[in-house]
Amino acid sequence: MYFWFSWNGSFSLSDEIIINQKFIIMLRWTLTFLIIAVIAAILGFGGIAAGAASIAKIVFFVFLVLLVISLIRGAASRS
């Protein structure tokens, strides 16, 4: 899956790779905090679990917003 950004009408393959890596890193952080929350909940650490789940939720929603923005910009640049 590729996310297209176009600031001045030009776009290179290296820009595309960097953008994809940033989205992947963001999803990895979301999964990391989600796993921490699940493990903490299983072990009975409710406060830590709630904090990690909140962070995972925030990072995931930031990812979704950036995904929608990139899809809209990509559709606009192709037309």
Q: Specify whether the CB–CB gap between 21 and 3 falls below 8 A.
A: no
Residue-wise pLDDT tens digits, 4-47: 444 455 555 565 666 677 778 888 888 888 899 889 888 888 88
Average pLDDT of the segment spanning 58-62: 89
Q: Hunting for tokens 């999964």 — which residue is that?
A: 31
pLDDT classification of 71: cutoffs 50, 70, 90: confident
- Rounded CA-CA distance 46/36 in Å is 11
Give residue 1's pLDDT: 43
What is the average per-residue pLDDT within 57-66? 88
Cα separation, 23 vs 29, in Å, equals 10
Determine contact, residues 30/63, Cβ cutoff 8 Å.
yes
Domain boundaries, the chain: 15-78
CA distance 39 to 61: 22
Which pLDDT band holds residue 74 (cuts at 50, 70, 90)? confident
Handedness of CA 67, 69, 70, 76 (dihedral sign): positive
Q: Cα(33)–Cα(19) distance, rounded to whole angstroms?
A: 22
